[in-house]
Amino acid sequence: MFGHLTEYWFAFPVVALGCTMTIMGGVGGNVVCGPFFILVLKLSPEAAIGTALVTQVFSLLSGIIGYGRRKLIDYRLALFLAVGAVPAAVLGSWLSVRVPGTLLQVIFGGVILIIAWLLYRSPIETAQEAMVSPGASGVRTLIDRQGRVYSYQVCQRGQLLGISVLAGLGSGLVAIGGGELNTPAMVLRCQIPIRIAAATAVFTMALTVLAGAITHVLVGRPVWNLALWTIPGAILGGQLGSYLASRIESEALKRGLSLLFVLVGMAMIVHAMFLT
């Protein structure tokens, strides 16, 4: 019995590192965790996605605490995006146990490649902050715990909500898509500073992933002895990621995550098409 519980002990440091890197960029840790479960641990796509969603709930809750302490979350925008994302996540979770495993892996890898491209294209933060002035009509201003002022406008609400629906569907279907789509959308469409966009996306993702995880627990097959180790790793990664996000240069962070996502996405597609 004890051996069964310690079978996946090595997942703790892997998930902690993966969640640290992804939370820094406002994307879900499942971009790393999902492929790790499938490619290394050889779980079925359905089991990997269910376990990844359960794990991600704790990573995101930890990230919310960290970002909230640093006053980087736009709660009003996060709740607006969740209106579309949460129902879509429930639908995606229901579909994930009915889609063939190989196709699910190809979709998984393809979405990761799209995310890499979107993140790579996002403009640099200094250019964003120069575009609006505090106090102007329709401008929101946040001041973080370090005293930095972020001023921006929330534009194209319809498009942002539509993208959030797609993000929620992807989150439930393949355990990714929430912050991975919402963060670039906020940065590219409205020039919201990446730190604000990342923190806000983490809050929206937490609500979305919670809905998807509950659905997966009801209709899927999470691997609980794996989750025993991945959940503490996710909590640690959420805290470290939110802490380091305010201390690492934004452009370097985006470029590094883009390269990581390209490698992971290609590995998923190659594995699905040629190695299964």
Looking at the predicted structure, is the pLDDT value of residue 26 above 70?
no
Q: How far is CA 17 from CA 97, 138, 165, 257, in A?
A: 28, 39, 28, 13
CA dihedral 223→93→13→243, nearest 10 degrees, is: -150
- The pLDDT score that the predictor gives to residue 52 is 85
**What is the pLDDT confidence band of residue 138, given thresholds at 50, 70 and 90?**
low
Looking at the predicted structure, is the pLDDT value of residue 220 above 70?
no
Q: How far is CA 271 from CA 33, 117, 245, 275, in A?
A: 16, 21, 32, 5
* Category of 201 on φ-ψ map: left (φ > 0), alpha (ψ -120 to 50) or beta: alpha
Q: CB–CB of 19/238 below 8 Å? A: yes
Q: Is 221 exposed, middle or buried (0-12, 13-18, 19+ CB in 10 A)?
A: middle
**What is the pLDDT confidence band of residue 213, given thresholds at 50, 70 and 90?**
confident
Rounded to the nearest integer, the mean pLDDT of the chain is: 81
Q: And the tokens for 125? A: 């933060």
- The pLDDT score that the predictor gives to residue 83 is 93
Tens-digit pLDDT profile for residues 227-273: 999 999 988 987 888 788 767 766 777 778 788 888 888 888 888 88
For residues 135-146, give the mean pLDDT.
76
- The pLDDT score that the predictor gives to residue 28 is 65
For residues 81-95, give the mean pLDDT.
89
Tens-digit pLDDT profile for residues 96-108: 778 887 888 888 8
- The pLDDT score that the predictor gives to residue 267 is 84
In DSSP terms, 149 is beta-bridged to 143
Tens-digit pLDDT profile for residues 146-205: 888 888 888 888 888 998 998 888 888 877 766 667 877 888 778 888 788 888 988 998
Looking at the predicted structure, is the pLDDT value of residue 25 above 70?
no
Confidence (pTM):
0.74
Q: CB–CB of 212/171 below 8 Å? A: yes
Kindly state the DSSP code that residue 142 receives in the 8-state scheme: E
- Of residues 70 and 29, more confidently modeled: 70
Q: What's the CA angle centered on 51, arms 49 and 52, to 5 degrees?
A: 60
Cα distance between residue 64 and residue 73, in whole Å: 8
